[in-house]
């Protein structure tokens, strides 16, 4: 509760949390808010926002309801962001914990592998995998999660290196506790706060990854996507700029809300900032 109070005392973070909750509610209620299929042609092309009550945000170049695409696209963006962040965080925590706790050749091997993966741009890897395996949503989520864990691993390794020689860990070893119990029950809970903060930024990065793939036409064509709507709207920027602007604003608002939440979590969980 004390952590929650510190978080809520951060006005920007509280605002970001309110926006994210609204987006989550929109994603969960998408079928009720926009019951018509988002990719169905339902009206006249390039209908401007607020000119027809049936289409509050207008229609795109094909005559599809932009409001329906935005609402259902929220489910796509947030779902991909959360699942991909969970995958990358889980892998990063596991590798970082093993490297930081055991050290020696295990640390060297895992960190060299991490550095090799960090030397390759993540977007290039994602583009290559999607181009080979296809643009199915499962492939996109898994690939984004598998290329985003390296920073988490290095962070967790640093925390474990700092904590493994602390008095409470030495006492656990003297008491005969197993390495597994020391890692998961003693060190990991103390190493998680910065990981939780960073996870919010991983969600943002995953949303931007999916938007970039969709913009390039490499995402799943059967689902509503903000990035694809931006990509399609770039052809009509001079005559119907709102087609690209509306999903662009949705991405900016979502990523900004997540970043504000990350800043608030950092202030709430970082012991050095609790009294600030």
In a domain, 70, yes or no: yes
In a domain, 109, yes or no: yes
Q: Which residues pair with 59 in a beta bridge?
A: 65
**What per-residue confidence (pLDDT) applies to 219?**
85
202/130 Cα distance (integer angstroms): 19
Is 23's pLDDT higher than 90? Answer: yes
Is 83's pLDDT higher than 90? Answer: yes
Residue 57: count of CB within 10 angstroms of its CB? 20
CATH of the domain at 139: 1.10.3720.10
Do 84 and 65 meet the contact criterion of CB atoms below 8 Å apart?
A: no
189/150 Cα distance (integer angstroms): 20
In a domain, 111, yes or no: yes
In a domain, 276, yes or no: no
What does 142-184 look like in DSSP terms, one character per residue?
A: HHHHHHS-HHHHHHHHHHHHHHTTSHHHHHHHHTT--HHHIII
pTM: 0.89
Q: In the predicted model, what is the mean pLDDT of residues 202-206?
A: 93
Q: Which residues pair with 41 in a beta bridge?
A: 64
HSE-up of 82 (CA within 13 Å, CB side)? 11
**What per-residue confidence (pLDDT) applies to 1?**
65
Q: In the predicted model, what is the mean pLDDT of residues 44-68?
A: 91
Its domain, for residue 132, covers: 2-269
148/198 Cα distance (integer angstroms): 11
Q: Give me the number of domains the chain comprises.
A: 1
Is 99's pLDDT higher than 70? Answer: yes
Using DSSP's 3-state secondary structure scheme, residue 249 falls into helix
pLDDT digits (tens, 9 = 90+) for 126-181: 888 888 888 888 899 999 999 989 999 999 998 888 888 888 888 888 888 888 88
Using DSSP's 3-state secondary structure scheme, residue 132 falls into helix
In a domain, 100, yes or no: yes
Question: Which of 104, 117, 112 has the alpha carbon at shortest distance from 143?
Answer: 117
Q: In the predicted model, what is the mean pLDDT of residues 44-59?
A: 90
DSSP H helical ranges for 62-102: 66-102
Do 101 and 183 meet the contact criterion of CB atoms below 8 Å apart?
A: yes
- And the tokens for 274? 């609790």
DSSP H helical ranges for the chain: 2-8, 11-28, 30-33, 66-102, 104-118, 122-133, 137-147, 150-163, 167-174, 179-181, 188-215, 226-233, 242-269
Average model confidence (pLDDT) across the chain: 88
In a domain, 275, yes or no: no
Percentage of the chain surpassing pLDDT 90? 44
In a domain, 82, yes or no: yes
Higher pLDDT pick, 165 / 56: 56
In a domain, 260, yes or no: yes
């Amino acid at each position: 509760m004390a952590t929650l109070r510190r978080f809520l005392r951060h006005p920007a973070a509280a605002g970001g949390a309110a926006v994210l909750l609204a987006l989550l509610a929109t994603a969960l209620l998408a079928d009720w808010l926009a019951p018509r299929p988002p990719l169905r042609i339902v009206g006249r092309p390039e209908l401007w926002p607020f000119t027809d009550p049936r289409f509050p945000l207008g229609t795109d170049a094909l005559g599809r309801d932009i409001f329906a695409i935005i609402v259902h696209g929220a489910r796509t963006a947030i779902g991909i962001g959360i699942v991909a962040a969970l995958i990358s965080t889980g892998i990063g925590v596991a590798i970082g914990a093993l490297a930081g706790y055991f050290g020696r050749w295990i640390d060297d091997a895992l960190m060299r592998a991490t550095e090799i993966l960090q030397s390759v741009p993540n977007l290039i890897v994602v583009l290559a995998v999607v181009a080979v395996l296809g643009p199915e949503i499962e492939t996109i989520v898994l690939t984004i999660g598998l290329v985003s864990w390296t920073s988490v691993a290095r962070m967790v390794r640093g925390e474990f290196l700092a904590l493994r020689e602390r008095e409470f860990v030495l006492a656990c070893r003297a008491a005969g506790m197993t390495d597994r119990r020391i890692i998961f029950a003693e060190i990991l809970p103390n190493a998680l706060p910065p990981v939780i903060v960073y996870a919010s930024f991983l969600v943002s990065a995953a949303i931007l990854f999916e938007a970039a793939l969709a913009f390039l036409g490499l995402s799943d064509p059967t689902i509503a996507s903000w990035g694809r709507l931006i990509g399609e709207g770039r052809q009509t920027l001079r005559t119907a700029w709102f087609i690209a602007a509306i999903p662009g604003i949705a991405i900016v608002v979502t990523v900004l809300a997540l970043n504000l939440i990350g800043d608030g979590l950092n202030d709430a969980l970082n012991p050095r900032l609790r009294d600030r």
